[in-house]
């Protein structure tokens, strides 16, 4: 089905979910993500899922994938913003940033008065 409907974002998502849940083959999963984003470069969900999968498998290609997604001319502006936010989230998770950025109630009160 994927060879006949290779431009279907929904079909790629279902196929990727099947590979991830049932086949448990990381090499096949990564190559399928590459094929999916090549055939559906406008899909923000596929790009973000590919980046997250690369991160979860401790792959080093995540930065090349991110650059490719941002350079993709098929993504709408909102999609590029979402991909860049995913990049920020990646670094937040990688370096444990976030907890220290939360303001205490006292700091929130001071900020509200300013």
pLDDT digits (tens, 9 = 90+) for 56-77: 888 788 889 988 998 888 888 9
Q: What is the mean pLDDT of the chain?
A: 85
- Tokens linked to 14: 């279902």
pLDDT digits (tens, 9 = 90+) for 23-64: 989 999 999 999 999 999 999 999 999 999 998 888 788 889
For the chain, what are the domain ranges? Answer: 9-113
As a residue count, the chain comes to: 114
Q: How confident is the model at residue 98 (pLDDT cuts 50, 70, 90)?
A: low
- pTM confidence score: 0.76
Q: How many CB atoms lie within 10 A of CB 75?
A: 19
Cα end-to-end span (Å), the chain: 59
CA distances from 33 to 39, 62, 74, 91 (A): 10, 12, 17, 21
Q: Which residues contact 39 (CB under 8 A, 6 or more apart)?
A: 6, 7, 12
């Amino acid at each position: 089905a994927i060879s006949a409907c290779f431009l279907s974002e929904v079909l790629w998502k279902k196929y990727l979910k099947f590979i991830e849940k049932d086949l448990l083959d990381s090499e096949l999963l990564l190559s399928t993500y590459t094929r999916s984003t090549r055939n559906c470069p406008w899909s923000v969900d596929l790009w973000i899922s590919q980046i997250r999968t690369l991160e979860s498998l401790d792959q080093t290609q995540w930065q090349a994938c991110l650059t490719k997604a941002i350079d993709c001319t098929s993504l709408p502006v909102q999609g590029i913003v979402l991909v860049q936010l995913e990049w920020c989230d990646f670094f937040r998770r990688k370096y444990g940033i976030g907890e220290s950025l939360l303001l205490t109630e006292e700091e929130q009160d001071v900020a509200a008065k300013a």
